[in-house]
Amino acid sequence: MKKHFVRIGLGLLLVLVFLGNAAKYYHLPLVERLEAVVYDTRLALTMPRTIDPRIVILDIDEKSLAEKEKGGEGRWPWPRDRLAVLLDKLFDHYKIAIVGFDIVFAERDESSGLKVLQQLAQKELKDVTGFQATLKQLQPQLEYDEIFAAHMRNRPVVLGYAFTRFDGENAKKGALPPAVLPAGTFAGKTINFAVFPGYTSNLNELQKSAASAGHFSLDPDPDGIIRRVPMLAEFDGGYYEPLSLAMVRMIIGGQNIIPGYPADKIWSKNYSGLEWLELGPLRIPVDELVTALIPYRGKHGSFNYISAVDVLNERADPKSLEGKIVLVGTSAPGLLDLRATPVEEVYPGVEVHANMISGMLDRNIKQKPPYVIGAEFVSLVIAGLAMAFLLPLLNPLRSLLVTIVVMLGVLAINVLVFHVGNLVLPLASGLMLISLLFALNMTYGYFVETRGKRQITGLFGQYVPPELVDEMARNPESFSMEGESREMTVLFTDVRGFTTISEGLDPKQLSQLMNEFLTPLTEVIYKHRGTVDKFMGDCIMAFWGAPLADPAHARNGIMAGLEMHEILNKLKPEFRARGWPEIRIGVGLNTGRMSVGNMGSKLRTAYTVMGDAVNLASRLEGITKEYGADVIVGEGTRDAVPEVVFRELDRVRVKGKDEAVAIFEPFGMQGKVDKARLEEIKLYTQFLRLYRAQDWDQAELQLFNLQKQMPGNLLYSQTFVERISYLRANPPGKGWDGAFTFKTK
């Protein structure tokens, strides 16, 4: 665990950075931008993409703006007496339910010429009695604003107006409707309303005649996209509703707006967030800025559009308007009411209000209450801490799988609550944190831990197989280059008669020969997880159990020794074809305590093993030729691998040691040695018992039987034949332990 402290620490630091952003101590612009993109993606994937037949948009389109000779009404603004006619057509002929204007009437309509006539009556035609009388008679017909206002009265007409950020001499224009919630409504609570210093509203007489009014101020998000509508805008201490909410209130009977807070008293005492607006049977969720997310149904065209000029000329189908909610607005590019939205870059502003009305009536406006900040914080803590502590402990593949699982889990929960529960939880911050934690761990592993692996490879790459290097790199704490005492197995192998072989080859051929047989022998050692200590001319020294611990070190060493002979037998035809001599080797193995580590001088060190157990293995290799054995092992090796079939060869005192040791020849794993070999081992064991009992005649007879079974075997035909002859002439006495003492290495 200690080796992962740095990675875990970096991961926790990254988690803290994201938690600070979630807690609003600072803002990470990239996270906020990605959050907007993620929201837009979720919205696009879950939009119904159906047309709401309840709402109709009366469009002041290009067709309506065409010249009169082409069937249009001419350029905007139209005379308000024509708008009065439009109202009559809508209510009297088409029987609509309600109409809202996504248009502000802030300036007086002077298109009738009444103002010019009044100026003439006061100046040039002041004394013309007939003119004055006629003007007085015509004036009611030329007061277009009054005509428009009169046609609004006692009808469900909702006007629109705009709040502005301009705070100057002409910041307030027109007449505002009464605030829906008076100043002081939210006293004692900290709520972030959209506050506006100015407004552009309708003429006073128009405002008084309308049934209601609502603002159509749409503040885009920092990326310029319209995603929300201020449901309560603050001006001069009062709170004002948007056009869509004003229309919905009228549709359901003019219900009052009631601010909604969590019902739990303990919760409410410490939490002042406004979570919804209650409107009779409707509950409209709001976020921490008291705005509502626009529930876009789809792209432009999610509502039926009817050209305004067709209504004026009664060309529209009455069924398409009867009982409908009508919004008067424009899709004409020249009138500049086009907005950038998540669903389309160019989207009519009037359709934004239509989406809001539809969403409120259907109760499907997404909720993003202030407490989602806490939900984001908790999710970041859970996912972040889990990833920060878990990833450093896993390999790259498992890290990738865990990251994918966690990411899919976070994504699935988020999409589920978004689509089913209409709750908008932050997602980008979680996905980004998970991705960065994964990238951090992979990068750290590549640049830091692979450096350690390269160092390990540089130190041990020539001595141990690549798979062991990989294990060491993954777990560097499991080995040390410092000297220590371990139970290990060491192997020596040497070419028999190498001097004679080398004398018969030129240097180039000798070099090729050496490479051809040392390479496969080294591969065998690597295959069985051994460490090559050194090459000494034609000799190889290897060991098992270091630098990585190996519980099966004795077994692996024996299997390597036996396989070396199999490899050389396979090389014989190739060597014979190239005119090279046959290569025969002896292998000595011993298991015991030995010192292992970096040893040498200040000028040069090597990772090697030392000790009596090592020296014995070297001596055992040297006496293989005396017994004609391929592999000889010591007692420690035999005892460590009971699953291998051995025969005890002899008891010996090697040069440099006074203590006699038993030596053994391995043949293979239990169950895999043929019956003839097992019978030979049995007979040889009987021979040893007779030999050590100094029953020379019977021992010689048993040896004769073995010679008949295995003719030409050096062990039977020379080693013990000569030894028995000598001991018969020179009896060793009663205290003899049966050991033979070698005077040479």
CATH at 500? 3.30.70.1230
Give per-residue pLDDT as tens, 173-230.
999 999 999 999 998 888 889 999 999 999 999 999 999 999 999 889 888 999 999 9
Backbone angles phi, psi at 26, to 5 degrees: -155, 175
Please check whether residues 262 and 289 belong to one and the same domain. yes
Report the number of distinct structural domains present in the chain.
4
Q: Tell whether 472 is covered by a domain.
A: no
Please check whether residues 552 and 493 belong to one and the same domain. yes
Q: How many other C-beta atoms lie within 10 A of the C-beta of residue 568?
A: 19
Please check whether residues 168 and 201 belong to one and the same domain. yes
Please check whether residues 664 and 681 belong to one and the same domain. no
Please check whether residues 31 and 112 belong to one and the same domain. no
CA distance 504 to 585: 18
Please check whether residues 35 and 69 belong to one and the same domain. no
For residue 658, the model assigns a pLDDT of: 82
- Beta bridge partners, 279, equal 282
Q: Tell whether 502 is covered by a domain.
A: yes
Give per-residue pLDDT as tens, 575-633.
999 889 989 999 999 999 999 988 877 777 778 899 999 999 999 999 999 898 999 99
For residue 268, the model assigns a pLDDT of: 46
Please check whether residues 639 and 681 belong to one and the same domain. no
Q: Tell whether 623 is covered by a domain.
A: yes
Helix axes 114-122, 129-142, angle to 10 degrees: 160
Please check whether residues 591 and 518 belong to one and the same domain. yes
Final residue of a domain: which of 641, 668, 695?
668
Q: Tell whether 739 is covered by a domain.
A: yes
- The whole model's pTM is what? 0.62
Handedness of CA 273, 278, 284, 289 (dihedral sign): negative
Q: Tell whether 459 is covered by a domain.
A: no
Q: Report the run of H or E that residue 662 belongs to, with start and end.
A: strand 661-669
Give per-residue pLDDT as tens, 538-560.
899 999 998 888 999 999 999 99
Structure letter (DSSP) for residue 446: I
CA distance 434 to 413: 15
Backbone angles phi, psi at 38, to 5 degrees: -65, -40
Q: Tell whether 375 is covered by a domain.
A: yes
Q: How far is CA 486 from CA 462, 464, 479, 540, 551, in A?
A: 22, 18, 12, 21, 11
Q: What is the mean pLDDT of each run of 10 residues along the chain (745 residues)?
A: 73 87 82 88 89 95 85 87 94 96 91 64 64 65 88 96 86 93 89 92 95 92 92 95 96 90 56 81 90 93 94 94 95 79 92 95 87 80 87 85 90 84 85 89 70 56 59 59 87 89 86 91 93 88 89 96 94 91 94 89 80 94 92 96 95 87 95 92 93 92 87 81 90 88 78
- Grouping H, G, I as helix, E, B as strand and the rest as coil, residue 60 is coil
For residue 85, the model assigns a pLDDT of: 94
Please check whether residues 163 and 107 belong to one and the same domain. yes
Q: Which residue from 21, 241, 213 is spatially nearest to 100, judged by alpha carbons?
A: 213
Q: Using an 8 Å Cβ cutoff, are 524 and 560 in contact?
A: yes
Q: Output helix, strand, coil percentages for the chain, rounded to the nearest 5.
A: 45, 20, 35
For residue 115, the model assigns a pLDDT of: 64
Structural domain harbouring 696: 674-745
Q: Tell whether 593 is covered by a domain.
A: yes
Please check whether residues 27 and 79 belong to one and the same domain. no
First to last CA, the chain: 49
CA distance 125 to 136: 13
Final residue of a domain: which of 362, 392, 427?
362
Sequence-distant (≥ 6) Cβ neighbours of residue 7 within 8 angstroms: 391, 392, 440, 441, 444
Helix axes 80-88, 144-152, angle to 10 degrees: 20
Cα diameter, the chain: 173
Final residue of a domain: which of 309, 335, 362?
362
CA distance 596 to 487: 10
Q: How many other C-beta atoms lie within 10 A of the C-beta of residue 440?
A: 19
Can you say how many angstroms the Cα of residue 359 is from the centroid of all Cα atoms in its chain?
35
Q: Report the run of H or E that residue 55 belongs to, with start and end.
A: strand 55-59
Structure letter (DSSP) for residue 242: B
Q: Tell whether 139 is covered by a domain.
A: yes
Please check whether residues 549 and 657 belong to one and the same domain. yes
Q: Using an 8 Å Cβ cutoff, are 506 and 541 in contact?
A: no
Please check whether residues 230 and 283 belong to one and the same domain. yes
Q: How far is CA 171 from CA 8, 164, 202, in A?
A: 56, 8, 14
For residue 130, the model assigns a pLDDT of: 66
